[in-house]
Amino acid sequence: MKKQALNPYLPSWEYIPDGEPYVFGDRVYVYGSHDFFNGYVFCMGDYVCWSAPVDDLGNWRYEGVIYPRNEDPLNKEGKMCLYAPDVTIGPDGRYYLYYVLDKVSVVSVAVCDTPAGKYEFYGYVHYADGTKLGEKPGDEPQFDPGVLTEGDTTYLYTGFCGRGDKSRHGAMCTVLDKDMLTIKEAPVFVAPGVEYEVGTGFEKHAFFEAPSIRKKGDTYYFIYSSTVMHELCYATSKEPTKGFTYQGVIVSNCDMHIATYKPADMPTAYGANNHGSIVRILDKWYIFYHRQTNGSWYSRQGCAEEIHFLEDGTIPQVEITSCGLNGGPLEGKGEYPAYLACNLFTDVPSMYIAGDKYPKVTQDGKDGDEEVGFIGNLMNHATAGFKYFDCKGVKQFAVTARGYGDGTFEVRTEIGGKCLAKLPIQYTNVWETYTTDIDLSDGVHAIYITYVGNGNPQLKSFTLI
């Protein structure tokens, strides 16, 4: 049976950021780096892959480890992390995985006969004389490869540009020959870094990291993370190696710039870096991105939202939701886990995640334990938002909570709107369910749950009855 598609789209105990989605055959595959729950650095795990049927985007299958970090000859002891990868189909029909290790500035390549089989190390991107890209005098360090293959040519996009570093100029594009390794055209810059943004049209949204490339019709879409980190921006061109024009923001993982349900400058989630891309699945397009959990930069989860192209090819920014791949609102009845919160904030605005200073999505156990996530460290005036639900005949509302809290959960359908239900809670060290009547009209609604009181309770789920 088809399942509702939730956001994040993978199980709550899986941490796959930097998602690059592709449709191969009748399945969509997501390739990304691999964080750990309670990780202390980025990308601690081996590369794994998940896939889902194109017509059942709530039914994801774990494909297993596709590439261990010690497979690379430069990393036989496994001391370096596998940073964000990308995949493309070569002229020979095989699947090529491009990646960069965390302490070197060269691009590694692995290959496999199937989308999610065991990839084997293939080589390093290099010039005709054998010099590795990133090691030739004048080369800038390689980072976050994104790839697109057309015929016998592969376009490789790389780069990282931090504020204050004038040695790095922007995102680069390098043209590779049909062997997928040899450089046919040396790197050129396609989008400026922050130190070189003036007069380019990229001001305030300069390239930072996470280059990704897609083509729709005759237009190349260059997706990247900007200097502020929480947003995925895009630029377009009719040519893959030049002429890219900044177009706008596709998604922000703290929903900055969105002014539909809140002020545009109000962050309603705790963001940090971002990485992802766009993909067409059947007749719809989506943006894949990631969010931060556990009050940390290092436990990121993949999310997705449907996007729409205007007649001129531009993409209006989309708001973050709990139902991204579902094709519409979630069913307005039954129990939903609290980790689906797309909004999480207090009355002290913050664009960035900050440890235990704010509420957070977290879980019990250690990394790998299949423990369903919940919201922890709730505090007075903390709000969790869930969007959207198609409600019909809802008469009661329940929350399941635990922990040291003495207060009330208030339920609304709008930020700052009328309180529709109140559920008093008390200190408890086990999950307890509290139920009350609710005045909820039929229709598509957001659900905002605000804690008012003392202590720091935890929210496991809510139920529409």
Closest by alpha carbon to 460, among 374, 344, 343, 360? 374
Half-sphere exposure of 434 (CA within 13 A, CB side): 19
Which residue in 18, 86, 144, 195 is the catalytic one?
A: 18
- Residue 82: partners with Cβ closer than 8 Å, 6 or more residues away: 33, 34, 43, 45, 46, 47, 67, 69, 99, 101, 102
Q: Is 319 a catalytic residue?
A: no
DSSP H or E segment with residue 128? none
Which residue in 20, 35, 144, 209 is the catalytic one?
A: 209
- Residue 213: partners with Cβ closer than 8 Å, 6 or more residues away: 146, 147, 148, 155, 157, 220, 221, 222, 223, 240
Closest by alpha carbon to 32, among 71, 75, 67? 67
Angle (CA) 361-362-368 rounded to 5° is 135
Whether the Cβ atoms of residue 396 and residue 450 lie closer than 8 Å to each other = no
What whole-number distance in Å separates Cα of residue 257 and Cα of residue 266? Answer: 8
Q: Encode 156-172: b = buried (16+ Cβ within 10 Å), e = exposed.
A: bbbbbbeeeeeebbbbb
Q: Is 209 a catalytic residue?
A: yes
Whether the Cβ atoms of residue 407 and residue 453 lie closer than 8 Å to each other = yes
What whole-number distance in Å separates Cα of residue 457 and Cα of residue 358? Answer: 12
What is the DSSP code string of 404-434? SEEEEEEEESSTT----EEEEE--EEEEEEE
Whether the Cβ atoms of residue 213 and residue 147 lie closer than 8 Å to each other = yes
Please list the active-site residues.
18, 209
